[in-house]
Structure 1
């Protein structure tokens, strides 16, 4: 009887005891590579490895990419940030894809620390086609800001302009402004102040232009481009509310436009 009771107690103990902790599985090759070669933290490497893999039998491209970055003064922290943001860059061809883009940026003013700063801030740029997007976009911007230095300053503030939206929409929006009689120097100011404005759909630009003209503002007027940069971003309700608030302070509509 005593032995039976002891046996029952042992079974109960075994059934209710928590499972012994299992040893953690070793990191995958991808995780190890991202840590040792790219400088990612263990947590970041594990997160990236859920959607991206490095083939341990095909390391030529990843090695070439890292060598290219280091040869252009990208620090370890730069490389880690870029790869964490855009891991597929490790699978890019340096000869046919990345190096021509690096050469283009350097030729057009992104020298020294400016190149790492641009590409680390928005590495998606490197996924865009050089001939059909990066070069024509740079050329379009330069036609208004007049110099490589001006484009560099603009892209430091808004690197997304090289990759976000379509070139067709961007070109059409600028053509609309030119056709409406907005002076070139005012378009340049719009690009510098609010570069996102030219990335909206053209019908939104048309609506904003017409709304301002209906209020008596003309494209050649000094406050027109400032008002346009605000009007493009706001829906009808928000725009009317903004005007009403300014007018409630005792300002005229003309004074309100001067404040944009």
Structure 2
């Protein structure tokens, strides 16, 4: 592990060291430390700054502790790079209790690493004041340890919050207007950040979604709350303008948002690319995309253009009718698309599969 420790010290930037109170001379000492595996016992170590020597000793002890608990060298390096303060932890006092807690919940060291990879700074939180209460709250709300772990892997920072006060009021706001518990809990599990906002602002967003005509019983309601919470009003206005440029009316844009709220989170480039494909290449009216906004989320390069090319070839050979089942052709899983639209036409159009695969390769260049 001494070689690993030397590599980690060399990877640490000066800014991360200065942030912990080390002077430039201390940094030079740390670099010196990293070149000798025997530095702790070396007589020269007596002349080094005490904080540098202490960091050296603690750092090695932290690495040994992580290794003894199943972490690989690459995982330890990752944690040290993403969260430099870990090397100055008192391993027995600050780190071990947290590892033991996570071990009592997770199935393996790999699962613990997934949590820490999400946000290594979770280790800076108090175990008894933050991590355990947050974990217990999530488990009580979600109903299982497995779902709680899945949520933490998505956003480990949640373990640093007072969830009863930070999340609880927003959950209650949704419950009071009739949002099903299943929809709330599903979103809490997979998108916990949507609940982490001031309850007054959260309620304003919820009211805005209601005014747009969403049904509180449907999944799209919570999804719309998330989408609106993720952008400013100016960003929303820019997305609206992007759709307007392609001829969509205000009501058509709102209708598209009600059907598939994520259509307002796409970048302007993605919106323009998809709309150009449907209107100019496939020769549809702009209202086509507004009625089927879920198609807008498909990748232009990896899905729309390659399959659109196959569609044009089939159309030119008279094997399909214009605009026949295009949404189904675009949305089909890859295997079904090949079985339905390529394999039946191998004899009439030799090389159709190769042509499609070539278009897919172009998308990766």
TM over 0.5: yes
More displaced stretch, 248-257 vs 193-202: 248-257
Residue 109 of structure 1: how far off its partner (Å): 2.2
In structure 1, what is the equivalent of residue 7 of structure 2? Answer: 39
Number of residue pairs aligned between Structure 1 and Structure 2: 227
The answer as to 2:80 corresponding to 1:83 is yes
Structure 1 match to 2:302: none
Task: Provide closer, same or farther for how the CA distance between residues 258 and 146 of structure 1 changes in structure 2, counting only shifts above 3 A.
Answer: farther
Counterpart contact for 2:62–2:91, Cα < 8 Å: yes
Alignment of 1:177-196 (within 5 A): 177-196=174-193
Q: Residue 272 of structure 2 corresponds to which residue in structure 1?
A: none
Q: Which segment is superposed worse, 41-50 or 171-180? A: 41-50
Query: Which secondary structure state, in structure 2, belongs to the residue aligned with residue 56 of structure 1?
Result: helix
Aligned partner of 2:121 in structure 1 is 124
Aligned to 2:53: 56
List per-residue Cα deviations over 1:3-59 (Å, max 9, x = no partner). Answer: xxxxxxxxxxxxxxxxxxxxxxxxxxxxxx997625326353555433345531576
TM-score where L is the length of structure 1: 0.72
* 1-structure distance, mates of 2:237, 2:15: 45
Deviation at 1:155, TM superposition (A): 2.3
Determine the structure 2 residue equivalent to 1:259.
Answer: 260
Query: What displacement does 1:116 show?
Result: 2.1
Give the TM-score taking structure 2 as reference length: 0.54
The CA RMSD measured in Å over matched residues stands at 3.1
In structure 2, do the counterparts of structure 1 residues 43 and 129 end up closer, same or farther at CA, with 3 Å as the change threshold? closer
CA distance in 1, matches of 2:54, 2:143: 48
Q: Distance in 2 between matches of 1:114 and 1:127?
A: 19
Q: Are residue 106 (structure 1) and residue 103 (structure 2) matched?
A: yes
Match of 1:226 among 223, 227, 235: 223
Q: Which residue of 2 aligns with 1:160?
A: 157
Contact 2:12 2:84 in 1 (8 A): no
Per-residue deviation at 1:252?
A: 7.2
Q: SS where residue 103 of structure 2 aligns?
A: helix
**In 2, Cα distance between equivalents of 1:125 and 1:198:** 19
CA distance in 1, matches of 2:166, 2:135: 15
Any idea what SS the aligned residue of 2:79 has?
Answer: helix
Please give the alpha-carbon distance, in whole angstroms, between the structure 1 residues aligned to 2:130 and 2:174: 21
Q: CA deviation at 1:254?
A: 4.6
Q: 1:252 to 1:47 in 2, by over 3 A?
A: closer
Is the Cα contact below 8 Å between 1:62 and 1:91 reproduced in 2?
A: yes
Deviates more, 1:247-256 or 1:175-184: 247-256
Distance of 2:168 and 2:6 partners within structure 1? 38
Match of 2:210 in 1: 213
Structure 2 unmatched ranges of 5 or more: 23-50, 262-365
Residue 139, structure 1, aligned to residue 107, structure 2: no
Which secondary structure state, in structure 2, belongs to the residue aligned with residue 223 of structure 1? helix
Once the two structures are TM-superposed, the CA of residue 102 in structure 1 deviates from its matched residue by 1.3
Structure ranking higher in helix proportion:
2
1:74 deviation in Å? 1.4
- The SS at the match of 1:95 is helix
SS of 2:109 mapped into structure 1: coil
Alpha-carbon deviations, 1:182-238, whole Å to 9, x = none? 222111222244221112222221110110122232432332111111111222343
Aligned-pair distance for 1:242?
4.4
- Matched with 2:248 is 248
Instruction: Determine helix, strand or coil for the equivalent of 1:227.
Output: helix
